[in-house]
């Protein structure tokens, strides 16, 4: 089965990468979709985020990265995916993701949503937290994949 893992990934975290890695072992193909969201003020461009994710997934031949826009469920179908993959960190994520999944079912009943629960060590982690730590010259080695940490630090460190 081919699934899509949508998100902003601004930037990708070790939590995101863990979900991708686990999904790569469960599904035939995983498409990581950087979804354009005009409501979000992103630090990195779509092409920068795509390049960063590609560096992190180079050892996973069944994972690909794309940039998408529009309704996630429609883009999922356009790519020929049968499912949406979502990571759940806490109860608040579950409530939000359940509402999204239910709405997506109403829009297209053929697209299934699959939830992967975050490992405990990643249950607090978000791109926002990683960016804030980096902006104050903090150690982000436990938050951001090694392959891209330098780029993130260079962009966000306060001089």
Is 40 an active-site residue?
yes
User: For residue 25, which of 70, 67, 57, 69 has the smallest C-alpha distance?
Assistant: 57
49, 86, 127, 131: which one is catalytic? 127
DSSP string over the chain: -EEEEEE--TT--HHHHHHHHHHHHHSSEEEEEEE--TTS--SS-HHHHHHHHHHHSTT-TTEEEEEE-S-HHHHHHHTT-SEEEEEE-SHHHHHHHHHHHHHHHHH-TT-EEEEEEPPGGGTT--HHHHHHHHHTT---TTTS-HHHHHHHHHHH---
Instruction: Assess whether 127 carries a catalytic annotation.
Output: yes
89 is catalytic: yes
Count CB atoms within 10 A of the CB of residue 99: 10
Active site residue 16: yes
Catalytic residue among 2, 16, 135, 142: 16
**Among residues 2, 36, 39, 40, which one is catalytic?**
40
Rg of the chain (C-alpha set): 15
Q: Which of 49, 86, 89, 131 is catalytic?
A: 89
Residues annotated as catalytic (active site), given as ranges: 16, 40, 89, 127
């Amino acid at each position: 089965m081919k699934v899509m893992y949508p998100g902003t990934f601004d930037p990708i975290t070790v939590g995101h990468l863990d979900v991708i890695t686990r999904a790569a072992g469960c599904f035939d193909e995983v498409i990581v979709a950087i979804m354009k969201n005009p409501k979000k003020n992103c630090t990195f461009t779509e092409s920068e985020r795509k390049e960063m994710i590609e560096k992190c997934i180079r050892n996973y031949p069944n994972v690909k990265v794309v940039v998408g826009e529009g309704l996630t469920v429609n883009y999922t179908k356009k790519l020929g995916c049968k499912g949406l993959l979502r990571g759940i960190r806490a109860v608040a994520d579950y409530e939000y993701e359940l509402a999204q999944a239910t709405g997506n079912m109403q829009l297209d009943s053929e697209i299934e949503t699959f939830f992967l629960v975050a490992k405990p060590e990643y249950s607090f982690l978000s791109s926002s937290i990683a960016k804030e730590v980096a902006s104050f010259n903090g150690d982000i080695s436990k938050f951001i994949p090694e392959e891209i940490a330098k780029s993130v630090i260079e962009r966000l460190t306060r001089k």
